[in-house]
Amino acid sequence: MEELALFGGKPVRDNKIYYGRQWIDEDDIQAVANALQGPFITCGPKVEEAERKLAEYTGAKYAVVCSNGTAALHCACIAAGIGPGDEVITTPLTFAASANCAFYCGAKPVFADIDPETWNIDPGSIRDHITSRTKAVVAVDFTGQAVKNREIREICNEFNLIFIEDAAHAIGTRYDGKQVGSLADMTCFSFHPVKTITSGEGGAITTNNEDFYKKLVLAHTHGITHDDDLMEDAPHEGVWYYEQISLGFNYRMTDFQASLLMSQLGKIELFKQRRAAIVNKYNLAFKDVPGIIIQKEIPESDTCRHLYIIRLDLCKLKCTRRQFFDAMSAENVQCQIHYVPVYWFPYYRHRGYEKGLCPVAEDVYKGIMSIPLYPTLTDADTDDVILAVKKIAGYYAL
């Protein structure tokens, strides 16, 4: 058997590859340069154009772009009217922002467990966690696979809850033929460089609801309006006049970021295809490797995959996840773990959340590892990743 690089063997490749990275072309750079030469660097026409394009792409009536995905979630919670005493149900297997947004509004995040095979929030567990204080569900399309929209919609209708979809991983995904962004009451996106398309930092919220839209606009720009219809103290003194009518934030996106976003949005189907080709190749390569479990996909989701995660079946391997991760690293394939269950963090622990709340998520967490997935990976790169996984799984096979 081939010696692992971890123990001094020859690594499968000479230079390191990482789990994710952006794809920026000359035309993206040109789009940013053009915007920088225009009269507006922020609050200009590119932002409005990006919002129109994003609404068009997702099939939502309205889109608001903002400074990042976390701001998008915060604005969605504000527009949903979430406040002290309310509860917001979300998944623990996510980036902390999906739950923190409830705390931002003085509400309490409540964690529902996940499906052991798709790793998305389990609608049955959402149901089990509803109380008279529940106000909203923040459902995360984990790795890009759509959550069970139909079931979650039914639950939200039945209990009068607002359905917020955290689609930070899922731009480009369709559910039952409909684009993610057009389904939930509000859908939040992130355009951080590791996500499928990027604007540097950036985010957006899409909605079909005019009332939410108006609140989102206010929330991301100080609660200030120039709209005569919204102002309280009319007639006003002149065209310079504006009013602050709620408490908002400065969560705006700049024009040059909006230009990059539009340029990237134009390439999303290409990115999606390339990602899907890699996912298919990995699935084929790993489906019969003892000790490796691959993610189950629901047929309703036509997924634009953001992350490729393998789950180690630790009963079939004589190593820990840590050893496997370090062995991958030594082979020059730098993996990442998505994610530590949110309520394990000290901030949550100090607020009374305890280990054991979501046993499925905790169990899944123990074996998962994100391997490289991004459109500029070459066939040789993905061959190396497969070789590394098989080499290590073979070495540690029971």
Ligand X SMILES: *Cc1c(COP(=O)(O)O)cnc(C)c1O
Is residue 252 a contact residue for ligand X (CB under 6 A)?
no
Among 63-71, 117-125, 226-234, 250-258, which window interacts with ligand X (CB under 6 A)? Answer: 63-71
Q: Residue 304 CB, nearest distance to ligand X (Å)?
A: 14
- Provide the mask over 9-48, with x wherever binding to ligand X is found by CB under 6 A and - wherever it is not: ----------------------------------------
Residue nearest to ligand X (CB): 69
**Contact, 309 vs 336, CB < 8 A?**
no
- Lookup: tokens for 328: 């991958």
Is residue 101 a contact residue for ligand X (CB under 6 A)?
no
Half-sphere exposure of 134 (CA within 13 A, CB side): 23
β partners of residue 207: 62
Q: Residue 279 CB, nearest distance to ligand X (Å)?
A: 18
Helix or strand holding residue 164 (H, E): strand 162-166
Q: Residue 71 CB, nearest distance to ligand X (Å)?
A: 7
Residue with token string 């003194």 = 237
Helix or strand holding residue 255 (H, E): helix 255-265
Exactly one of 87, 122, 166, 384 binds ligand X (CB under 6 A); which one? 166
Q: SS3 of 207, please?
A: strand
Is residue 190 a contact residue for ligand X (CB under 6 A)?
yes
Exactly one of 168, 197, 304, 377 binds ligand X (CB under 6 A); which one? 168
**Contact, 4 vs 395, CB < 8 A?**
yes
**Contact, 395 vs 389, CB < 8 A?**
no
Exactly one of 17, 140, 197, 304 binds ligand X (CB under 6 A); which one? 140
Is residue 181 a contact residue for ligand X (CB under 6 A)?
no
Q: What angle do CA 265, 271, 275 make, to 5 degrees?
A: 145
Residues contacting 362, CB < 8 A, separation 6+: 92, 341, 355, 356
Q: How many binding residues for ligand X (CB under 6 A)?
A: 14
Is residue 69 a contact residue for ligand X (CB under 6 A)?
yes
Q: Residue 182 CB, nearest distance to ligand X (Å)?
A: 19
Is residue 165 a contact residue for ligand X (CB under 6 A)?
no
Q: Which residue, 69, 106, 116, 66, is CA-closest to 85? A: 106
Residue type at 55? A
Exactly one of 5, 78, 97, 217 binds ligand X (CB under 6 A); which one? 97
Q: What is the DSSP letter of 284?
A: H
Is residue 192 a contact residue for ligand X (CB under 6 A)?
yes
Binding region for ligand X (CB under 6 A): 68-70, 94-95, 97-98, 140, 166, 168-169, 190, 192, 203
